[in-house]
Amino acid sequence: MSTTLDTSPLETPRGAPIPRPGEVFDPVARALDLIGDKWKLVLVRHLLSGARGFQELRTRTGIAPRVLSTRLRQLIAAGLVEPTEGGGRGGYVVTDRGRDLAPLIASIARWYVHHAIADLALDTERFTDTSPISIVESLPFLLREERAAGADVTFEIRLTGEGGGVWTVHIHDGSCDVRSGFAERADVRYTAGARTWCAVALGFADAREAARQGTLSKEGGREAMDHYFHQIAHAGGMAASTSPQTASDAGGPKESR
């Protein structure tokens, strides 16, 4: 006698009582009870790269002081963040439990880049207070992984003006690592004013035009950053063909002479 496995969807019996949400075993819902607040994952994201003080977290996120204090207390109570002392001022670091959230945070960020901006036609021109550090630290989420596969290139970014600094961006076989400081060996070096570079990086300004105007310079090889990273101003083309293209085709300024 043969047995047929019933693969039809499970149905909730009619007239079943409505349970209290907290009494339902739903891993997604119960996880969001702990980390689903608007700011919690944002704060963990910023602490993944190192210890941060209260004011630095405010500068990076724009969170109001009272809200920030509350969320930090909640993260500490959940064992995701812990306070640290150093340099005369207290700060906060992510715990091992909090660090386990890194893949989830990366997936949320990539979903936003790949789907929310393009599919929902969000207004990308509202990002008027975006700082260079915010963009630089978001580069791993903006990486075009199919173009970065097999690549091994190091970019050095030198920015002047408000929010300026120096960062090294290393692309290696489909991944992207960002750190502050000069590169030991840069294949390509960009030098620009902070506001100019932000506009170019997000796709609101043309790199070639900035180079012609002398507000951005590029030294080194022909590789260009915008070949490897999504630009949110061009979100409508994110689903377009991803065939390889040259640095000049990708919109990067030509090599300085």
Domain boundaries, the chain: 26-99, 129-237
CB 130 within 8 A of CB 114: no
Query: What's the pLDDT tens digit per position in 35-62?
Result: 888 899 999 999 999 999 999 999 999 9
Q: Would you say the CATH fold of 129-237 matches that of 26-99?
A: no
Query: What's the pLDDT tens digit per position in 122-137?
Result: 666 667 667 899 999 9
Predicted confidence at residue 144, as pLDDT, reads: 93
Backbone phi, psi, residue 253, to 5°:
-65, 150
CATH topology of domain 26-99: Arc Repressor Mutant, subunit A (1.10.10)
Beta bridge partners, 170, equal 154, 177
Confidence of residue 239 (pLDDT cuts 50, 70, 90): very low
Weakest mean pLDDT among 87-101, 158-172, 217-231? 87-101
Predicted confidence at residue 18, as pLDDT, reads: 84
Mean pLDDT of 195-209: 90
Query: What pTM does this model have?
Result: 0.76
CB 171 within 8 A of CB 143: yes
Predicted confidence at residue 251, as pLDDT, reads: 41
Q: Which residue has the higher pLDDT, 219 or 247?
A: 219
Specify the pairing of strand 165-172 against strand 175-180: antiparallel
Tell me the percentage of the chain whose pLDDT exceeds 70. 79
- Rounded Cα distance between 182 and 201, Å, is 19
Q: Looking at domain 129-237, which of 1.10.10.60, 3.40.50.300, 3.55.40.20, 3.30.1050.10 is its CATH number? A: 3.30.1050.10
